[in-house]
A and B are shown apart, each in its own frame.
Chain A
Amino acid sequence: MKKRLIVACGSGVATSQTIASKIANMFEDDGISFPVDAVDYKSIQNELPSTGIYVYVAQPDEDVLEKAQELGVAVFPGIPFLTGMGVDSIYSQICELVR
């Protein structure tokens, strides 16, 4: 798996940055060293090949999901990191991949 987690939202500014820093902090607290980047959904096709884990804010299109599957990129929803609803289960799934 490529050693990089990306968070993609509509502009790569507000939401993805917020979630990316949240995940980065959680990694840090758990002593996990794994790069986290916020990206713009519009450039997602270019970002996927260098990515191991893709956390989405903007709902991904079918072709994006297909490409992720083709490249073996694990895909997770990012909204739970904002709302706190269901975050524990998603975070532990991500942790299993990065540990």
Chain B
Amino acid sequence: MSYKDMFDANWVDLNIQAATEEEAFELVAAKLMEAGVVNAGYLKGITERERNFPTGLITQHLNIALPHSDPEYVNKPFVFVARLTDEVVCRQMGDSQEMPVKDLFFLGIKNGKEQVGLLQAFMNLFMDKKFVDQYRSTVSTKDVYQLFVNNI
């Protein structure tokens, strides 16, 4: 399975209104449940995992978070692109420092061995200033979907 196949134009939401990271998780989990790509344990799985092992990353050009659950809650591999209208606080992977974030990428990892390159591919994109500038200036869901599919 190519990483491109993990994206879907329906799984890009650039206008999420959430006051906290957990609220954003609830909204996204509901959409993923509806699409059938995760099971009922997903929201709890992702929330608890984030509490113990946060996924925020302060990269050179953009703060991002990459929430992911254990594979047992994922029915089908996916990436959900979530851009919030306002910043929320999350914590950084590794040192747990608090950081503001608006751009969350939910990684639905079903098979660690097969999808291990996904995270690296993601990081390569976000270390690339040109890509980040394009991503930030893109406002339509279809164009964001296309941007990822063309570059990942």
- Measured CB to CB, the residues of A under 8 A from B are 9-15, 17-18, 21-22, 41, 56-59, 77-79, 82-85
B83 within 8 Å of A by Cβ? Answer: no
Give CA–CA (A15, B68) in the complex, Å.
Answer: 10
Give CA–CA (A12, B71) in the complex, Å.
Answer: 11
Asked if residues B49 and A10 are in contact (CB atoms below 8 Å), the reply is yes
B70 within 8 Å of A by Cβ? Answer: yes
Chain B, residues 24-67, CB within 8 Å of chain A (1/0): the string is 00000000000000000000000001001100011110000000
Besides the contacts A77-B95, A78-B94, A79-B94, what 4 more A-B pairs have beta carbons closer than 8 Å?
A14-B109, A21-B120, A22-B120, A79-B57
Asked if residues A79 and B92 are in contact (CB atoms below 8 Å), the reply is yes
B107 within 8 Å of A by Cβ? Answer: yes
Task: Report the contact-size class of chain B (Cβ under 8 Å from the partner).
Answer: 20 to 34
B149 within 8 Å of A by Cβ? Answer: no
Contacting residues, chain A, for B118 (C-beta < 8 A): 14
Asked if residues B58 and A85 are in contact (CB atoms below 8 Å), the reply is yes
Chain A facing B: main interface SS: mixed
Asked if residues B127 and A84 are in contact (CB atoms below 8 Å), the reply is yes
Contacting residues, chain B, for A21 (C-beta < 8 A): 116, 120
Contacting residues, chain A, for B127 (C-beta < 8 A): 83-84
Chain B facing A: main interface SS: mixed
Contacting residues, chain A, for B59 (C-beta < 8 A): 83-85
Contacting residues, chain A, for B113 (C-beta < 8 A): 17
B115 within 8 Å of A by Cβ? Answer: yes
Contacting residues, chain B, for A78 (C-beta < 8 A): 94
Contacting residues, chain A, for B120 (C-beta < 8 A): 18, 21-22
Asked if residues B115 and A77 are in contact (CB atoms below 8 Å), the reply is no
Asked if residues B60 and A13 are in contact (CB atoms below 8 Å), the reply is no
Contacting residues, chain B, for A10 (C-beta < 8 A): 49, 52-53
Contacting residues, chain B, for A82 (C-beta < 8 A): 57, 93, 119, 123
Closest 6 pairs between A and B when the two form their complex, measured CB to CB: A10-B53, A13-B112, A79-B94, A18-B119, A17-B116, A83-B59
Whole-angstrom distance between the Cβ of A62 and the nearest chain B Cβ:
13
Asked if residues A83 and B60 are in contact (CB atoms below 8 Å), the reply is yes
